[in-house]
Amino acid sequence: MKRLFFGGVHPADKKELSASVEVKMTKEPKQVTIPMTQHIGAPCEPLVAVGDTVKKGQKIGDGKGLCVPVHASVSGTVVAIEKRRHINGTDELCVIIENDYKDTEDTSMIAYDDYSNLSDDQIIEIIREAGIVGMGGATFATNVKAATSMERVKTLIANACECEPYITSDDMLLRMYPERVLEGMRIICQVLDPERVVLAIEDNKKEAIAALKKALVNEKKIELVVLPTRYPQGAEKQLVQAVTGSEIPGGELPKSVGAAVFNVATFAYTYGAVCLGRPVTRRMVTISGEAVNNPGNYWFRIGTSFEYAVEQAGGLKDNVWKVIAGGPMMGLAQQDLSACTIKGTSSILCLSEEQNGEAQEENPCIRCGACVKACPMKLQPLYLHAYGKKGNVDELKRLNVMDCIECGCCSYTCPAKLHLVETIREGKKRVKEEM
Ligand code: SF4
Ligand code: SF4
């Protein structure tokens, strides 16, 4: 099959585990733990104090600069403001709310049936106030991306690739609510006024493609582009290249070639904010893997502990090896289940001992070149690994280590089972420290 970007791999997608079952609503947790860090940029400062009563959707944290607010995901009482374990492995400031199970809603956001008279600035402010970030996991502030893309974007791309194995939350969202995604795209189009508007999806999502085709029958502006399945097609640079043919230079963003990419869930939340007056208080999460009893997609309030979430999916099996926030290629392994879902949590993956590739011993590099062929960023992972081990920052810089998107294709292909991406990630950290 024709490749539309350099490199990449074809891991078994295992999507049938979660995509073949109905999406489930879950019983709400007794407490939610809302981290003040749920986006790239400055953390929020709490706007509430212990003892305050809060409504669902009430803003409970905000800040200046590259920061978007966070909201209470249940109504109830603030019982603590303290550091708790975050999915990134650090301890971050969180607001803990005891659920009163009344779901009393904050109604301060306005719902606009007709948004055509809203100015660009008004729409961008609504997106900010709703706390919308890159919901595919990137968690970059959507209002900032939209504002900085204005007048520079020829091609707007909705990213429905969801190329990581196991994850199906975007797929299910598209099957259930294609109109919400399309309406969110129209709202962003009003702001960016692009020449071309594309919804890009991989060809392994047959039901979502059918739902989109139906929803797009009378649509003139939005084009559905079905791409051959290949990992990491959902990475911004690879997707832009697959859709437009333009290669984004190292260190640059999609806008450098006149493109802007937003995840499909981000569009659905944009619709919710503008047309329904709803901030981000919940999200669909795939719970999958061979070590969980009932894989599937579940709606969870933001701030639901992984422990509670996994219980709702029938609990872990005895053969559990690892729990990951995100997918197997780029996700973050968790030390325990105390972290909570944040806006960018698309998946909780529970892998069994049978998937334990790390148990295989690392062998010396045989210079086969497989990692170089697989690297979508045209890097030389074998040398990045070697210089990373030696801590040679100058060589790491010369070989453009910072262009690595940590996709894991190199480790996946390596016959010597070298933990390439881990070493490269460490190398990037060293370079950052010296910058
Ligand atoms: S993890 Fe980095 S070095 Fe390895 S294939 Fe992906 S982009 Fe290339
Ligand atoms: S794939 Fe592994 S063995 Fe082959 S060149 Fe790369 S690091 Fe060496």
DSSP-assigned beta bridge partners for residue 95 = 34, 81
pLDDT band, residue 126 (cuts 50/70/90): very high
> Are 347 and 286 contacting, i.e. CB atoms less than 8 angstroms apart?
yes
Q: Kindly report the length of the chain.
A: 435
> Per-residue pLDDT tens for 229-241?
999 999 999 999 9
Question: How far is the centre of ligand 2, averaged over its atoms, from the C-alpha of 404 (Å)?
Answer: 16
Relative to the CA of 369, which ligand 2 atom is closest? 5
Instruction: Identify the CA nearest to 76 among candidates 32, 137, 130.
Output: 32
User: What is the C-alpha to C-alpha distance for residues 36 and 57, in angstroms, rounded to an integer?
Assistant: 15
> Per-residue pLDDT tens for 67-116?
999 999 999 999 999 999 999 999 999 999 999 999 999 999 999 999 99
Q: What is the dihedral of CA 405, 408, 413, 416, to 10 degrees?
A: 110
**pLDDT reported for residue 1:** 45
All CATH 3.40.50.11540 domain ranges of the chain, comma separated, are 120-276
Q: Mean pLDDT for the chain? A: 95
User: What is the C-alpha to C-alpha distance for residues 377 and 375, in angstroms, rounded to an integer?
Assistant: 5
Relative to the CA of 374, which ligand 1 atom is closest? 5
For the domain made up of 120-276, give the CATH fold.
Rossmann fold (3.40.50)
Question: How far is the centre of ligand 2, averaged over its atoms, from the C-alpha of 382 (Å)?
Answer: 6
pLDDT band, residue 24 (cuts 50/70/90): confident
Task: Please report, rounded to a whole number, the percentage of residues in the chain having pLDDT higher than 90.
Answer: 91
> Are 281 and 57 contacting, i.e. CB atoms less than 8 angstroms apart?
yes
Relative to the CA of 385, which ligand 2 atom is closest? 7
Which two three-digit tokens encode residue 167?
């994850």
Question: How far is the centre of ligand 1, averaged over its atoms, from the C-alpha of 384 (Å)?
Answer: 9
The residue-averaged pLDDT of 248-270 equals: 94
**pLDDT reported for residue 3:** 61
- Residue whose Cα lies nearest atom 3 of ligand 2: it is 365
pLDDT band, residue 250 (cuts 50/70/90): confident
**pLDDT reported for residue 419:** 93
**pLDDT reported for residue 4:** 84
Helical packing angle, 381-390 and 420-434, nearest 10°: 60
> Per-residue pLDDT tens for 178-218?
999 999 999 999 999 999 999 999 999 999 999 999 999 99
- Residue whose Cα lies nearest atom 7 of ligand 1: it is 404
**pLDDT reported for residue 2:** 57
Q: Domain 24-108+279-355 belongs to what architecture?
A: Roll (3.10)
The residue-averaged pLDDT of 38-64 equals: 96
User: Buried (b) or exposed (e) across 237-261, using 16+ Cβ within 10 A?
Assistant: bbbbbbbbebebeeeebbbebbbbb
pLDDT band, residue 226 (cuts 50/70/90): very high
pLDDT at residue 403 is higher than 50:
yes
Question: How far is the centre of ligand 1, averaged over its atoms, from the C-alpha of 403 (Å)?
Answer: 9
Relative to the CA of 403, which ligand 1 atom is closest? 7
* Nearest ligand, CA 370: 2
> Per-residue pLDDT tens for 380-400?
999 999 999 999 999 999 999
Sign of CA dihedral 113, 114, 115, 119: negative
Burial of residue 147, with CB atoms counted within 10 A of its CB: 0-12 exposed, 13-18 middle, 19 or more buried: middle
> Per-residue pLDDT tens for 355-366?
886 667 899 999
Instruction: Identify the CA nearest to 233 among candidates 411, 10, 412.
Output: 10
Residues with CB under 6 A from ligand 1: 374-377, 379, 381, 384, 404-410, 420-421, 424
- Residue whose Cα lies nearest atom 4 of ligand 2: it is 368
Kindly report the pTM of this predicted structure. 0.95
- Hey, which of 163, 396, 407 would you mutate to test ligand 1's pocket, going by the most ligand atoms within 8 Å of its Cβ? 407
Phi, psi of 48 (to 5 degrees): -125, 165
Listed range (137-141, 214-218, 298-302, 336-340) with the worst mean pLDDT: 137-141
Residues with CB under 6 A from ligand 2: 365-371, 381-382, 413-416, 418
> Per-residue pLDDT tens for 143-188?
999 999 887 899 999 999 999 999 999 999 999 999 999 999 999 9
Which two three-digit tokens encode residue 404?
């690595």
**pLDDT reported for residue 26:** 85
**pLDDT reported for residue 360:** 75
All CATH 3.10.20.600 domain ranges of the chain, comma separated, are 24-108+279-355
